[in-house]
Amino acid sequence: MMNTTIEATFKGYDIESIRKDFPILNRKVKGYPLVYFDNAATSQKPQSVIDALVHYYSYNNANVHRGIHSLAEEATADFEATRDAVKSFINAQSREEIIYTRGTTESINLVAYTWAKQNLAEGDEVIISGMEHHSNIVPWQIICEQNKARLKVIPVNINGELLMDEFENLLSDRTKLVAVNHVSNAMGTVNPVKTIIQKAHAKGAVVLIDGAQSAMHLDIDVQDLDCDFFAFSSHKLLGPTGMGILYGKKELLQTMPVFAGGGEMIREVTFEKTTYNDLPYKFEAGTPNIADAIALKPAIDYINKIGKENIRRHEDMLLAHATKKLKEIEGLKVIGDNDHKVSVVSFVIEGVHPQDIGVLLDNRGIAVRTGHHCAEPLMNHFCIPGTIRASFALYNTTEEIDLMMEALNRAVKVLR
Ligand code: PLP
């Protein structure tokens, strides 16, 4: 489908060759070339990631850490190489601060069931925001209920931004934890997390940043942010599903109780007493997700090769193009219409149900997400059942956006 030098694409960003690296972009859906705009749900994978999975199972398949045979050593080296790549990717101070999990959800739950369970006393407070994904709401509700702590919520304004004055009012000497997303999955809003972290630290609170939507798009420097925890998923940054990262400051991780018990997380087991392994293995019980951990490294390498700044410039261009075109549709309202966003545009159209639009776009091979985006409280805030969300990635093009616009205009005519 691509015959382009896309006019709006800046010099040096070789979109044609980038697209060739993602085999799925060649497929057709319902007879039309796939236009994949559901990147905030999960990104597509470059060939190098797919090859790494096949290579592991074809040549190196062995359990890690325990074996002394060649396959085990090779698998362990590749498995641990990802930890070093992640450490650099987010500029952590040490590889011990990089814990492998199944994804953002498990990373957040790990902190809830260890740090928070140990540290929240009756009457303590946890602050989240009104634009959180359910994964950064429900674990805190559960732990607050168990520990008799209170959950407070930073309100969101009409443009989909956090009300920072209200945040300051919510902070108190009882605030023990602030857990907010870096970028809203439902709207694309980039939150002022550095300020949030500074203000929370001034009150002695610990801060967890949900980086599920930021890791792909923004430069992440956990030392500069000074966050205590940072959680993200491999599958949203070109890597495989079932793999995620919890970054934690070493001094915090060291004081935390263990999460799950089993092999690998122990130093010595007797029936009387078990002692635990060093970081990061203390939090990695059982045989890990070896293949997917190994295949996260080529994903990170791929992003580094293209360069986050280049990706950001390209995606910003796509966002600007889409937002401008969408606003030409009568009765269309962008949800989260502000100017500090990553490449997500969420919208509703008067008189038309989002799901019907989703179905009609799919009939043209165009994948968008419709619904509440696992952010029901945010949808309630805007008094809507859901939105249509188009989220763009480094391999998308303005031409694809134009195809969506054509299909969208046609769908609106049919549905109104
Ligand atoms: N937080 C945010 C902001 C998200 O967008 C998502 C997924 O969409 C999650 C958390 C949960 O991520 P996962 O399902 O990979 O654990």
Residue 67 confidence (pLDDT): 87
Does the domain at 50-304 match CATH 3.40.50.11540? Answer given as: no
Distance 240 CA to ligand 1 centre (A): 14
DSSP characters for 85-101?
A: HHHHHHT-S-GGGEEEE
Q: Where are the beta strands (DSSP E) in 81-210?
A: 98-101, 125-129, 150-154, 175-181, 206-210
CA 28 to chain centre: 27
Distance 109 CA to ligand 1 centre (A): 12
Residue 6 confidence (pLDDT): 44
Q: Do domains 15-33+307-415 and 50-304 have the same CATH topology?
A: no
Closest C-alpha residue for ligand 1 atom 5: 185
Residue 9 confidence (pLDDT): 61
Distance 288 CA to ligand 1 centre (A): 20
**Token match 């190489």: residue?**
81
| C-alpha span between 306 and 147 (Å, rounded) | 46
pTM above 0.75, yes or no: yes
Domain ranges for the chain: 15-33+307-415, 50-304
Homologous superfamily (CATH) for 15-33+307-415: Aspartate Aminotransferase, domain 1 (3.90.1150.10)
Atom in ligand 1 nearest the alpha carbon of residue 104: 16
Q: Which residues are CB-contacts of 318 (< 8 A; sequence separation ≥ 6)?
A: 343, 392, 396, 397, 398, 401
Atom in ligand 1 nearest the alpha carbon of residue 103: 16
List per-residue pLDDT tens for the chain, 416 residues long.
333 444 446 667 999 999 999 999 999 999 999 999 999 999 999 999 999 999 999 999 999 998 899 999 999 999 999 999 999 999 999 999 999 999 999 999 999 999 999 999 999 999 999 999 999 999 999 999 999 999 999 999 999 999 999 999 999 999 999 999 999 999 999 999 999 999 999 999 999 999 999 999 999 999 999 999 999 999 999 999 999 999 999 999 999 999 999 999 999 999 999 999 999 999 999 999 999 999 999 999 999 999 999 999 999 999 999 999 999 999 999 999 999 999 999 999 999 999 999 999 999 999 999 999 999 999 999 999 999 999 999 999 999 999 999 999 999 999 98
Residue 3 confidence (pLDDT): 38
Residue 10 confidence (pLDDT): 66
Question: Measured from the CB, is residue 135 less than 6 Å from ligand 1?
Answer: yes
| C-alpha span between 81 and 75 (Å, rounded) | 10
Residues labelled catalytic: 374
Distance 135 CA to ligand 1 centre (A): 6
Tell me if 29 sits within 8 A of 367, measured CB to CB. Answer: yes
Most informative mutation of 38, 42, 101, 105 for ligand 1 (most atoms within 8 A of CB): 105
State both tokens at 373: 């985006």
User: For the stretch 110-134, what's the b/e string if a residue is b when 16 or more beta carbons lie within 10 angstroms of its beta carbon?
Assistant: bbbbbbbbebbeeebbbbbbbbbbe
Residue 416 confidence (pLDDT): 86
